[in-house]
Amino acid sequence: MSTLDRRALAALALALLLWAVSFPVTRIALAAYPPEHLALARYGLATLVLLVYCILVRAPLPRCADLPALALTGLLCGTVYQLGFNYGMRTVASGPAAVLVDTVPIFAALFGFLFLHEHLGVWAVGGIALGFIGTVLIASGEAVPPASPSNPVRGICCWRPLPSAWARWCKSRCSHACLPFR
C-alpha cells in the first residue's frame, strides 16, 4: 500500500470516528450547554482549526465574487443545520438521530427533481421510497405521548429544515458555479 493510500485510509478512519462519536458527544454536551452555545462552540473551534490550516498551507483568500455564496453556505450549512441538529438531539436518542440526519440525500434528490428538474430513475425512486419507509419506522419507534416533555416529535421536526438547507446550498453552488478557495 502506498503512502498516499495509507494517508487516505487514515483520513477516512478519522472522519468516520469523528462522525460516529459526534452524536453521543452532542447529546452529553447538551446536558450542560444550550443548543445555540454548543453550535457556536463547535463552529468556533472548527473555524480556528481551519484558519491555522489555511495559514500553514498558505491557502489563497476566496475571490470577492465567491463571498455571497460562501455566506449563504455558512448560513444554511452551518447555522441552520447545526441549530436544527442540536435542538433535535435534545429529544431524540443519538442512534435514531444518526439515521434521521442521513435522510438529507433523500430530500436533496427530491428537491433536485422538484426544483432543478433532474431525472429520477427507477432505482432512485425506489431508494427514496425505502428511505421514507425507514424514516417513518424510526420516527414511530421514537414516539412518546404528546404531553411528554421529552417528546421526540419536536426533535424530529427540528431536523426537517436540514435537507432543505442542504438542497438550497447545492442549488446555490450550481447556479453560481462557485468553488471556494480555487
* Residue 89 CB-density burial (10 A; 0-12 exposed, 13-18 middle, 19+ buried): buried
Give 61's DSSP letter.
P
Rounded percentage of the chain residues whose pLDDT exceeds 90: 23
Spatial separation of the C-alpha atoms in residues 152 and 173, rounded to whole Å:
33
Confidence of residue 64 (pLDDT cuts 50, 70, 90): very high
Q: pLDDT at residue 158 above 90?
A: no
Whether residue 131 is predicted with pLDDT greater than 50 in this model: the reply is yes
Average pLDDT over residues 136-148: 60
Report which of 30, 87, 69, 45 is spatially closest to residue 175, judged by C-alpha positions.
69
For the segment 9-33, the average pLDDT, to the nearest whole number, is 89
Mean pLDDT of the chain: 78
User: pLDDT by residue (tens digit) across 22-43?
Assistant: 888 888 999 999 999 999 998 8
pLDDT above 70 coverage of the chain, percent: 77
Q: Residue 82: CA atoms inside 13 Å, Cβ hemisphere, count?
A: 21
**Mean pLDDT in residue range 67-86:** 86
pLDDT tens for 80-108 read 888 888 888 888 777 787 777 778 788 88
pTM: 0.62
